[in-house]
Structure 1
Amino acid sequence: MDVSALGTACAVPAACALVSGCARGPAPAPSLATESAPPVAVMSFEPYGGLLYVHGVVNRDSAWLILDTGTSHTGLDREWAWTTGALPVAAPGAPAPQVAETASAAVVDTMHLAGLALPNYQVALYALRGVSEASGRPERGFVGHDVLRRFTVEIDYREQRVRLYDPARYHYAGSGTVVPFAAGDDRPLLHGSITVPGRPPIPARLLLDTGASGLCLILTVPFVERHGLAGAVSPAIEAPIGTGLAGQLRGTLVRLKELRLAGLRVASPTTGLGGERTGFLARTDLDGVIGNPVFEDSRLIVDYARRRVIIEPRAAARCDYDMSGLRLTAQGPELRHIAVEYVVPHSPAERAGIRVGDELLLMDGHAVADAGLSDVRRALRVKGALRRLVLRRDADTIRVTLQLRRLL
């Protein structure tokens, strides 16, 4: 998934029981929690396509779930939820035969996440087919704000570990950058600023969204319009800027001059400027989201109880972007068909004659169905590389060679 937008709010009380590129400055010392406060749960995560997948068990079915600080409520794919035995929560006034079709929530007997058990837990229901096609893997659901806010959450991108601490026993003694939450908000909505050439810094309320990948930032339409950002930065690419729960997000891709979060400065962040009032892009209670690329190789601590985020950067993040001009999606029942969804004008892909709807079969002699969409995208982000592609267009086979170059 290039970018996962915010989930719709579904604040339902629930019980949680314990069973057991961007350029940045020098790295501070590692974090230190007191020895008397070990984590209550430790989860490995699988990085895929810039997202963080943690292993869970829903009832008796195993699944990889996206760790998503930007989604209000933990949720499952609607179709998959029924296969686990989840029970629909009836919408008010819904006829009994239509409960499963109209329900926006369901209850599962148990949801297990490493050392956590969430018994008799109410989850939101999402239609995730479009997100699956964008990410290239079957999406089963998200672990959202309703679960994460109960803990101090430490995400170590280098170690690929998530540690959940009891907030009452967590003490930070490192030298990372501390960014407070916005006043009166229990979400990691952070006060930062962005800069564009020739202007002073522009204050921005940015939601930390670990369910967002592909870009460092996405800014809402009201914020973009209020500050006249459209046309203020070049080069710029008119294209889809991501895929969220509400569908495809459209706008303009640019690199801003700088993002600032307290003392942390991120140079040349890849940014999507919202262009259509669709989904979260229309929201006015925040100005945008900060995605995982900002924190690559860092340690990130979301301290909900103290309403702060702590960032320990270790190295400059790559903050790469596609260099081919191809926006690809996975199609078919098993998501093994890689198709061209969009071609950037004047890009290597357009000049090679690639069209929307072409199916990518081979890259440098290897079947892309075996590699997966995330690996294909990574291979198309290497400046100066030559990529030999074989594509299918209707009954024809097309062979082209792309020389990759920076588009942003």
Structure 2
Amino acid sequence: MDVSTLGTACAVPAACALVSGCARGPAPAPSLAAESAPPIAVMAVEPYGGLLYVRGVVNRDSAWLILDTGTSHTGLDREWAWTAGALPVAAPGAPATQVAETASAAVVDTMHLAGLALASYQVALYALRGVSEASGRPERGFVGHDVLRRFTVEIDYREQRVRLYDPARYRYAGSGTVVPFAAGDDRPLLHGSITVPGRPPISARLLLDTGASGLCLILTVPFVERYGLAGAVSPAIEAPIGTGLAGQLRGTLVRLKELRLAGLRVASPTTGLGGERTGFLARSDLDGVIGNPVFEDARLIVDYARRRVIIEPRAAARCDYDMSGLRLTAQGPELRHIAVEYVVPHSPAERAGIRVGDELLLIDGRAVADASLSDVRRALRVNGALRRLVLRRDADTIRVTLQLRRLL
């Protein structure tokens, strides 16, 4: 298999959701896999905010790109793509003077990922400003299905490594949980089931989406409506459940009783029930997406050629949902201003009088401008902790104390 250069490819891009946590029960000890050949490429992972970033070089510009099994086509932020020297692909009928403004795709001379080189490669163009504000860092793009499907992809969450193998030479000899792809699909669309209290398990087609963080699951509106899930689980929080390419995703946050993937059981998974037909929430070709929190600390193998996913859990992990009631975003040219986008009703934040639009300045005496948005969110997910916050509201400075508690 010649992997030094991957030729031009084109596919229809799908939405990538960045979502905002998941609890698992005790996990069995992992089994080691035996491969008959070394990996073609090994990429270091920079974990941030529940996402997996790998280093890429586009033409001659270096950038951290999200490893995203849920996005059909590798893509770049459209504004950053021009600075990196990408050439727009003219949209049909577009005036010659508006090619860059109307293009939905571009071609890069080269894209390097560890030891791989993609030459004259067509990428999708995305407007990623909203995603950047939600994550708190400038997002440059994604490595999507069109690249990943050529390999057997091993993601080691604990070691923070991604290994790409030649599928023709890959052999698995471990004892991990094997979950087949849905029939007739080359995406990691997995058959699983969910359980809500008082009902039998409900079968679901769930897309493995490493571009989804924070929540274990997000379920689409057609699926939620078909099974009457809205109102079937309590407690429930009416709130944004994430941010995607189409903007903010709204719905209801709950913990289901259980998620099952073949022999793997995930207890009390944090779940977003889609409430508006926006972006992928309106899709009927899948029932939802499975995010990174399900696989925290695990080794995950996506074997596209054999149409299966293999999961090797390790020690139990817990990724809780926010305990303050604050949904925060990063604002300003350099994303250094942390603003309140939403306040959960009846939460510690609402009871302290915090409002939408307030700017967070300090947590326990430390300036949030000197921290990442991911670190700020982590500080607000400690059950029972007292946090002293200083905020700016117009010309006023506001000081409050929050006692964090589980909202789900």
Q: TM-score, normalised by structure 2?
A: 0.95
Whole-angstrom CA distance in 2 between matches of 1:227 and 1:187? 25
Q: Is the contact between residue 15 and residue 71 of structure 2 (CA under 8 Å) also seen in structure 1? A: no
Q: Is the contact between residue 325 and residue 349 of structure 1 (CA under 8 Å) also seen in structure 2? A: yes
Q: Is the contact between residue 31 and residue 172 of structure 1 (CA under 8 Å) also seen in structure 2? A: no
Q: Is the contact between residue 4 and residue 243 of structure 1 (CA under 8 Å) also seen in structure 2? A: no
Moved more, 190-199 or 309-318: 309-318
Task: Summarize deviations over 1:41-85 as a string: whole Å, max 9, x none.
Answer: 000110000000000000000000000000000000000000011
Q: Is the contact between residue 4 and residue 117 of structure 2 (CA under 8 Å) also seen in structure 1? A: no
Cα 1:42–1:14 shift into 2, 3 Å: farther
Whole-angstrom CA distance in 2 between matches of 1:2 and 1:377? 43
Moved more, 24-33 or 6-15: 6-15
Cα 1:18–1:305 shift into 2, 3 Å: farther
Identical amino acids, percent of aligned pairs: 95
Q: Is the contact between residue 4 and residue 245 of structure 1 (CA under 8 Å) also seen in structure 2? A: no
Shift of 1:93: 1.2
Q: Is the contact between residue 13 and residue 72 of structure 2 (CA under 8 Å) also seen in structure 1? A: no
Shift of 1:15: 23
Q: Is the contact between residue 18 and residue 115 of structure 1 (CA under 8 Å) also seen in structure 2? A: no
Shift of 1:316: 1.7
Shift of 1:401: 0.3
Q: Is the contact between residue 2 and residue 213 of structure 1 (CA under 8 Å) also seen in structure 2? A: no
Shift of 1:17: 29
Q: Does 1:302 align with 2:271?
A: no
Task: Summarize deviations over 1:328-361 as a string: whole Å, max 9, x none.
Answer: 0000000000000000000000000000000000
Matched residue, 2:252: 252
Q: Is the contact between residue 8 and residue 72 of structure 1 (CA under 8 Å) also seen in structure 2? A: no
Q: Is the contact between residue 219 and residue 281 of structure 1 (CA under 8 Å) also seen in structure 2? A: yes
Q: Is the contact between residue 35 and residue 173 of structure 2 (CA under 8 Å) also seen in structure 1? A: no
Task: Summarize deviations over 1:199-255 as a string: whole Å, max 9, x none.
Answer: 000000000000000100000000000000000000000000000011000000000
Cα 1:241–1:24 shift into 2, 3 Å: closer
Cα 1:351–1:88 shift into 2, 3 Å: same
Task: Summarize deviations over 1:148-207 as a string: whole Å, max 9, x none.
Answer: 000000000000000000000000000000000000000000000000000000000000
Whole-angstrom CA distance in 2 between matches of 1:405 and 1:38? 47
Task: Summarize deviations over 1:301-329 as a string: whole Å, max 9, x none.
Answer: 00000000000010222131000000000
Cα 1:9–1:235 shift into 2, 3 Å: farther
Q: Is the contact between residue 179 and residue 261 of structure 2 (CA under 8 Å) also seen in structure 1? A: yes
SS of residue in 2 equivalent to 1:238: strand
Whole-angstrom CA distance in 1 between matches of 2:96 and 2:75? 22
Moved more, 88-97 or 127-136: 88-97
Which consecutive aligned stretches of 4+ in structure 1 deviate over 2 angstroms post-superposition? 1-10, 12-36
Cα 1:330–1:298 shift into 2, 3 Å: same
RMSD, matched Cα = 5.7
Q: Is the contact between residue 74 and residue 124 of structure 1 (CA under 8 Å) also seen in structure 2? A: yes
Q: Is the contact between residue 15 and residue 121 of structure 1 (CA under 8 Å) also seen in structure 2? A: no
Moved more, 13-22 or 102-111: 13-22
SS of residue in 1 equivalent to 2:98: helix
Whole-angstrom CA distance in 1 between matches of 2:36 and 2:393? 62
Whole-angstrom CA distance in 2 between matches of 1:392 and 1:228? 41
Whole-angstrom CA distance in 1 between matches of 2:401 and 2:19? 54
Cα 1:157–1:141 shift into 2, 3 Å: same
Whole-angstrom CA distance in 1 between matches of 2:174 and 2:300? 12
Cα 1:156–1:329 shift into 2, 3 Å: same
Whole-angstrom CA distance in 1 between matches of 2:7 and 2:323? 30
Cα 1:12–1:388 shift into 2, 3 Å: closer
Matched residue, 2:347: 347
Cα 1:396–1:13 shift into 2, 3 Å: closer
Q: Is the contact between residue 17 and residue 245 of structure 2 (CA under 8 Å) also seen in structure 1? A: no
SS of residue in 2 equivalent to 1:98: helix
